[in-house]
Structure 1
Amino acid sequence: MIKIKKILLAFMCLVIIGGVLYKVNYVKKEHEKSVQAIKTNEQNKKLNKIANEKLLAKAKKVKEAEAVKDDKALLKINKNKEILKKQKDLDKNLAKVVVIDPGHASITSFEQEKQAPGSTIMKIKEPGGAEGINTKMPEYVVNMAVAVRLKVLLSKKGYTVIMTKTENKQMLGNIARAKVGNDSKANLVIRIHADSNDNSSVSGASMLVPTDTKNTDPIYKLSKQYGEVVFRNLINDVGMNDRGVVERDDMTGFNWSKVPVILVEMGFLSNSSEERLLITESYQDKLAKGLADGIDAALK
């Protein structure tokens, strides 16, 4: 009996120990599972984070690529708009006529013509122009050089450009010069000249425009308006001494004109410093550009 009790007690102890060991083992496995789950979860989080970062980076690249694409498209659109605008401006300018009148000629004429329609005052057709104080460069050479450059620049801007003459040996009276502008129904006639003075210290540029008289009344306002705009551009571009816009009633070319007309005096050949500039191609380029920009601004 005692032996049976011992056996039962031993069995019960084994059962209890087995249960404890099972529970310990179960808890251990559950703990390991829990730890593994935590590790797996952390790894998944890291993987998800990496995946999300990759997706965000990819999305950013796609967005940037689309932005670049949009920018390129926008630039292309803007460029096309600029091209169209430039073409429209050229087409618009093509309908505008500018007559360039290079002053004086290599041939003089003492033949006379009326200063204005109905006037009793007579003036010499071509008395000859100024000349350089040191180089003796004739004014007509400087005038033609700037006029030719101005024609090129205005033509590039789309204007229809007419020259009253293309050679220095061509002698035209001022009535004939005015007739070229009238016959072409010019939007503007610009007469190109250089100045002279007995006082060699005098320097600078000026713009001559018609006075408001019975002959020039129809063109007075526009002539003065255009003259002021062109002259302001010239002074700003070139930077010479500003002698202002001057109204004149004694200019034959003004009094016979039926279209807006201005006359620019680009500087004094009687002044050594300005003479040195006026005879150089680089300065003639600057003068032509200043005048072209001014004319373009005036006729917009």
Structure 2
Amino acid sequence: MKRYLGILSELLIIISLITGVVYKKDKLDKVNMELKTILIDPGHGGRDNGASYSNILEDEINLSIGSKLYEKCITNNYIGYITRTSDYDLSKYDSLNHKNDDLKKRAEYINTLDIDLFVSIHLNVYPSEDVHGPMVYYKKGSEESYNLALSVQDELNRLTNNKKRVTIGEYYLFKYTTVPGILVECGFLSNEKERNLLVLEDYQNLISNAIFQGIKNNEKLNEKK
């Protein structure tokens, strides 16, 4: 069954490259150059669940938060893309290293688009159950990524009453993409209190709202420069 699902996923990717239909994009034309174009990347999916705790899977929560953030972007007149809209990854079904193949496809997709920035959504785990709070990572050497990360982290800290600082991330998508981007670890599945919040749709809305507000705040700061 998994093999057939993999074949179907690969066919969808091929169709998307030919028609540009499968990868979701809002229907706004980029006529007004003031419009920002954003890609949302819900991490993992398909054969790669990411982090987990019991039956709680990172990829499912990533998709829920990422989809909510995507909707907020397009309803606020941003041009939006999203790398996945359900439980699949972007690797070939017969890939020997589907994780690397998936990341490669995501990076290639980002690089083919005329976008201003991307936001990758993930969850964290840590051996100590005491560690908690959303964390934002940015591209080394990218001032735009750094400023965006600061703005988003400020909003997430305000929401969760934390004092987390932004961190340089050594991630594949940072190394192999050509546009500014951040990676948001929305919380720790290893922390009981945070884990119980992350599965709630209301809390996922609060997280996506905070990320979106951070994006908006950063945009306003850039306009003043």
Residue number in structure 2 paired with 1:107: 47
Shift, 1:180, TM fit: 2.1
Question: Which amino acid in the other structure matches residue 132 of structure 2?
Answer: S
Measured against aligned partners, the alpha-carbon deviations of 1:47-93 in whole angstroms (never above 9, x if no partner) come to xxxxxxxxxxxxxxxxxxxxxxxxxxxxxxxxxxxxxxxxxxxx858
Give matches, 1:148-227, under 5 Å. 148-172=67-91, 173-212=102-141, 220-227=142-149
Q: Secondary structure at the match of 1:203?
A: coil
Is the 2:41–2:82 Cα contact (8 Å) retained in structure 1? yes
Q: Are positions 1:95 and 2:35 aligned together?
A: yes
Q: Are positions 1:232 and 2:154 aligned together?
A: yes
Residues paired across the two proteins, number: 181
Question: Which amino acid in the other structure matches residue 122 of structure 2?
Answer: H
Question: Which amino acid in the other structure matches residue 52 of structure 2?
Answer: E
Residue identity over aligned pairs, in percent, reads 27
Shift, 1:255, TM fit: 0.3
Q: Secondary structure at the match of 1:242?
A: coil
Is the 1:267–1:278 Cα contact (8 Å) retained in structure 2? yes
Give matches, 1:11-160, under 5 Å. 95-108=35-48, 128-132=49-53, 135-160=54-79
Is the 2:155–2:213 Cα contact (8 Å) retained in structure 1? yes
Residue number in structure 1 paired with 2:183: 263
Shift, 1:285, TM fit: 0.6
Shift, 1:298, TM fit: 1.7
Cα distance in structure 1, aligned partners of 2:139 and 2:218: 17
Shift, 1:233, TM fit: 1.9
Measured against aligned partners, the alpha-carbon deviations of 1:20-50 in whole angstroms (never above 9, x if no partner) come to xxxxxxxxxxxxxxxxxxxxxxxxxxxxxxx
Is the 1:94–1:160 Cα contact (8 Å) retained in structure 2? no
Measured against aligned partners, the alpha-carbon deviations of 1:95-141 in whole angstroms (never above 9, x if no partner) come to 32100000111313xxxxxxxxxxxxxxxxxxx41113xx4310001
Is the 1:93–1:158 Cα contact (8 Å) retained in structure 2? no
Taking structure 2 as the reference length, what is the TM-score of the superposition? 0.75
Is the 1:147–1:192 Cα contact (8 Å) retained in structure 2? yes
Is the 1:174–1:253 Cα contact (8 Å) retained in structure 2? yes
Measured against aligned partners, the alpha-carbon deviations of 1:118-173 in whole angstroms (never above 9, x if no partner) come to xxxxxxxxxx41113xx431000110000111111111110011001111223352
Higher fraction of helix: 1
Question: Which amino acid in the other structure matches residue 180 of structure 1?
Answer: Y
Q: Displaced runs of 4+ in structure 1, greater than 3 A?
A: 91-94
Residue number in structure 2 paired with 1:243: 164
Is the 2:90–2:106 Cα contact (8 Å) retained in structure 1? no
Question: Which amino acid in the other structure matches residue 77 of structure 2?
Answer: G
Segments of 5+ residues of structure 2 without an aligned counterpart are 1-30, 92-101, 221-225
Residue number in structure 2 paired with 1:7: none
Cα distance in structure 1, aligned partners of 2:175 and 2:150: 19
Cα distance in structure 1, aligned partners of 2:218 and 2:83: 21
Residue number in structure 1 paired with 2:99: none
Is the 2:52–2:58 Cα contact (8 Å) retained in structure 1? yes
Is the 2:151–2:214 Cα contact (8 Å) retained in structure 1? yes
Is the 1:96–1:159 Cα contact (8 Å) retained in structure 2? yes
Give matches, 1:264-283, under 5 Å. 264-283=184-203
Is the 2:90–2:105 Cα contact (8 Å) retained in structure 1? no
Q: Give the structure with higher Rg (CA).
A: 1
Is the 1:185–1:259 Cα contact (8 Å) retained in structure 2? no
Is the 1:99–1:162 Cα contact (8 Å) retained in structure 2? yes
Shift, 1:204, TM fit: 1.1
Is the 1:107–1:171 Cα contact (8 Å) retained in structure 2? no
